[in-house]
Amino acid sequence: MKLSYTLMYDGNPRAAADQVAGLEKAGLDMVWVAEAYGFDSPTLMGYLAARTETVEIGSAILNIYSRTPGTLLQTAAGLDNVSGGRAVLGLGASGPQVIEGWHGVPYSKPLARTAEIIDLVRRGLKREVLTNEGTFPLPLTKEDGAVTGLGKPLKLLTHPERDSVPIWIAALGPKSVEQAAGIADGWIPHLFHPEKSHLVWGEALEAGRSRRSPDLGPLQVTAGGMVAIGEGPETKALLDFARPLFALYVGGMGAKGKNFYNDVARAYGYEQEAEEIQELYLAGKKKEAEALVPQEWLEACNLVGPASYVKERIAAFREAGVTHLTVLPASDDPAATVAQVKEWVS
């Protein structure tokens, strides 16, 4: 099992990025850089490439609407070059709130668009002349025809560092997860509950893997959360710092009926909590919404408690198919925390 880390920053991402160099020395294998509607991901990924030597650097995520397939191909090739072959292209459909609200483009045909972009990027990195008729195998969707659009057939002008960059898909809905398991190198879920994940995505993962090309190798999965190792109630109390994040996604990432994270909460069995959290959050009562996030869910998604308990959580994530354990150290010495967990996952 490898260790990954999501770049967390408050105002100044340079300071957070500089910390990654220390975490790399402690054993970190991969760093993910989010985008949403904050700073763009590729700029920070390029900065990380200059500040690090061995960690893989992934976008988590670049949405499939605001950049053309050609731009995504150029970004993957450029980042892979400046990092010396350490780039990972994390893609996702995001949601209507970001795509339509921030980027001002229609949120449509996410499955077909994702499949086409992955196909184009993979062919483009091999410097094939790119055309797109929408005719390549698309077994996971009934949406026919090309949706991304290409002009004059061209091939990548420069020679990439590698002719293949790992492509991961962030997905939550059953069809999207099935697609990720079928065509992507890796899958990025969110708010992942190891013991309940099979209830939500088990059938979708099995269906996708049944169509998976052997050339891709086993599906990689990244998930995890806050890590705090220690005895006593003060350590357990750190879980409360995760409440705002859970409430934001379950309550505020989309209108009613259009919030994928709320759907996941319901699928986990937290139907009533999901309903009430969304009602309160959309009404501006964020603190009340945070208080309703189930403690069981917080404990399952994070690794907070005595060393023996944290080891149990690592085993649970491993059993659920996680190959890259995401760790967000909540300690005075993050590098020491990463080093400790690295010993346990090796």
Q: Where are the domains of the chain?
A: 2-230+306-345, 231-301
**Any bridge partners for residue 90, and if so which?**
168
For residue 159, count CB atoms less than 10 angstroms from its CB and return exposed for 0-12, middle for 13-18, buried for 19 or more.
exposed
- How is residue 137 written in tokens? 């195998």
**What is the Cα–Cα distance from 110 to 164, expressed in whole angstroms?**
23
Q: Which residues of 294-331 are buried (b: 16+ CB within 10 A; e: fewer)?
A: beebbbbbbbbbeeebbbebbebbeebbbbbbbbbbbb
DSSP string over 87-105: EEEEEE---HHHHTTTS--
Q: Is 328 helix (H, G, I), strand (E, B) or coil?
A: strand
Tens of pLDDT, residue by residue over 284-337, are 999 999 999 999 999 999 999 999 999 999 999 999 999 999 999 999 999 999
**β-bridge pairing 56-59 and 87-92:** parallel
The amino acid occupying position 220 is Q
Tens of pLDDT, residue by residue over 153-186, are 888 899 999 999 999 999 999 999 999 999 999 9
For residue 229, count CB atoms less than 10 angstroms from its CB and return exposed for 0-12, middle for 13-18, buried for 19 or more.
buried
| Helical segments of the chain, H only | 13-26, 41-51, 69-82, 96-99, 110-125, 174-183, 197-210, 233-236, 243-247, 260-267, 271-282, 286-291, 295-301, 307-319, 334-345
**CATH dotted code for 2-230+306-345:** 3.20.20.30
312: left (phi over 0), alpha (psi -120 to 50) or beta: alpha
Q: Is 228 helix (H, G, I), strand (E, B) or coil?
A: strand
Which residue is it, tokens 């850089």?
Answer: 33
Q: Is 267 helix (H, G, I), strand (E, B) or coil?
A: helix
Contact present, 173 and 266 (Cβ < 8 Å)? no
pLDDT tens for the 346 residues of the chain, in order: 999 999 977 678 888 888 999 999 999 999 999 987 888 999 999 999 999 999 999 999 999 999 999 999 999 999 999 999 999 999 999 888 788 888 899 888 899 999 999 999 999 999 998 877 654 444 444 445 567 767 678 888 999 999 999 999 999 999 999 999 999 999 999 999 999 999 999 999 999 999 999 999 999 999 999 999 999 899 999 999 999 999 999 999 888 988 999 999 999 999 999 999 999 999 999 999 999 999 999 999 999 999 999 999 999 999 999 999 999 999 999 999 999 999 999 8
CB neighbourhood size of 140 (10 A): 22
Contact present, 56 and 31 (Cβ < 8 Å)? yes
The angle at the Cα of 332, spanning 328 to 333, to the nearest 5 degrees, equals 75
